[in-house]
């Protein structure tokens, strides 16, 4: 078992160091993608004609192989973490933009009308009404983007020691140590599971107004109407 965590010195990191590096290279791009997706998604909601071309561009960018992305970026960012993180941030857009757009569009018109009647401007209505109600859809997109990013970080081994845990796959072949490959695969899978579970917990904390599965089965859904939206809007204020 000691050989499982015996990391070759050429990687210049301990096992925990590789885990930290892997998380940094995976999560920062998702955060950057989220920050870009929020205003872009709002524009797509406000101007419906903009959504198809934005979705088309993000899909085309997602179709670019990561290795080709690396080759283009190396001339500008070198063999650095940034070269790995930029493609991951771009790839996250194809998941996050549709998730946010769908979530915001799912907000009932009665809720928006009640918010407007209470004096909410467009920006305040978006931040305090639409986004909180769209949290489940946004978290669902974040879960997919985060797990995918954690998996794709390993591709960074193709440009040197920038693949974090993925570098163990290369060293497993160089030093004929299959336990290093098992280490990479198992640790990456565990990180993805833990990150996904953390996002589920975040969703539960951010949506206390959502009924539990048991309560939703026992109680009939309330009729939609302006009266049902007032408590939520009062909480938003």
Q: pLDDT at position 170, please?
A: 82
Contact 100, 41 (CB under 8 A): yes
Contact 170, 159 (CB under 8 A): no
Structural domain includes residue 14: no
Domain holding 92: CATH number? 1.10.3720.10
Q: pLDDT at position 175, please?
A: 81
| Euclidean distance between CA atoms 147 and 193, whole angstroms | 8
Specify the residue for token string 């993805």. Answer: 192
Which of 166, 153, 155 lies closest to 11, judged by CA?
A: 166
Structural domain includes residue 194: yes
Domain hosting 67: range is: 25-110+119-206
Q: pLDDT at position 216, please?
A: 42
Query: In 63-93, which positions are buried (b, 16+ CB within 10 angstroms) versus exposed (e)?
Result: eeebeebbeebeeeeeeebebbbbbbbbbbb
pLDDT in single tens digits along all 237 residues of the chain: 556 667 777 677 788 888 998 999 999 999 999 999 999 998 998 889 999 999 999 999 898 888 888 888 888 888 888 888 999 999 999 999 999 999 888 888 888 888 788 877 777 887 778 888 888 999 999 999 999 999 988 888 777 666 788 888 887 888 888 888 898 899 999 999 999 999 999 998 887 766 655 344 444 444 444 444 444 444 444
Structural domain includes residue 137: yes
| Euclidean distance between CA atoms 153 and 71, whole angstroms | 16
Q: pLDDT at position 211, please?
A: 62
Q: pLDDT at position 222, please?
A: 45
- Phi/psi for 175 (5° steps) reads -100, 5
Structural domain includes residue 9: no
Which of 31, 32, 25 lies closest to 156, judged by CA?
A: 25
Contact 83, 74 (CB under 8 A): yes
Q: How many domains does the chain have?
A: 1
Structural domain includes residue 188: yes
Distances in whole angstroms, Cα of residue 93 to Cα of each of 32, 52, 67: 9, 14, 18
State pTM to two decimals: 0.80
| Euclidean distance between CA atoms 175 and 170, whole angstroms | 9
Structural domain includes residue 89: yes
Q: pLDDT at position 101, please?
A: 92
Structural domain includes residue 233: no
Q: pLDDT at position 226, please?
A: 42
Distances in whole angstroms, Cα of residue 36 to Cα of each of 29, 91, 147, 159: 10, 12, 19, 26
Query: In 167-193, which positions are buried (b, 16+ CB within 10 angstroms) versus exposed (e)?
Result: bbbbbbeeeebeebeebbbebbeebbe
Structural domain includes residue 63: yes
| Euclidean distance between CA atoms 139 and 95, whole angstroms | 11
- Phi/psi for 126 (5° steps) reads -70, -45
């Amino acid at each position: 078992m000691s050989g499982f965590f015996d990391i070759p010195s050429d990687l210049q990191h301990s096992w925990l160091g590789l885990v930290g590096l892997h998380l940094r290279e995976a999560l920062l791009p998702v955060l950057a993608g989220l920050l870009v997706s929020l205003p872009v998604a709002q524009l797509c909601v406000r101007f419906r004609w903009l959504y198809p071309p934005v979705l088309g561009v993000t899909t085309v960018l997602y179709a670019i192989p990561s290795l080709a992305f690396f080759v283009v970026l190396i001339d500008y960012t070198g063999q650095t973490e940034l070269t790995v993180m930029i493609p991951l941030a771009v790839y996250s857009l194809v998941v996050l933009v549709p998730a946010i757009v769908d979530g915001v569009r799912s907000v009932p018109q009665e809720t928006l009308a009640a918010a407007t009647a209470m004096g909410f401007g467009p920006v305040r209505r978006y931040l305090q009404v639409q986004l909180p109600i769209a949290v489940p859809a946004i978290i669902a997109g974040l879960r997919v983007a985060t797990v995918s990013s954690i998996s794709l970080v390993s591709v960074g081994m193709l440009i040197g020691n920038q693949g974090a845990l993925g570098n163990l796959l290369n060293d497993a072949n160089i030093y004929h140590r299959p336990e290093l490959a098992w280490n990479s695969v198992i640790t990456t899978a565990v990180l993805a599971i833990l990150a996904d579970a953390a996002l589920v917990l975040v969703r539960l904390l951010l949506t206390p107004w959502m009924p539990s599965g048991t309560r939703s089965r026992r109680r009939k859904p309330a009729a939609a109407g302006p009266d049902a939206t007032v408590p939520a809007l009062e909480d938003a204020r």
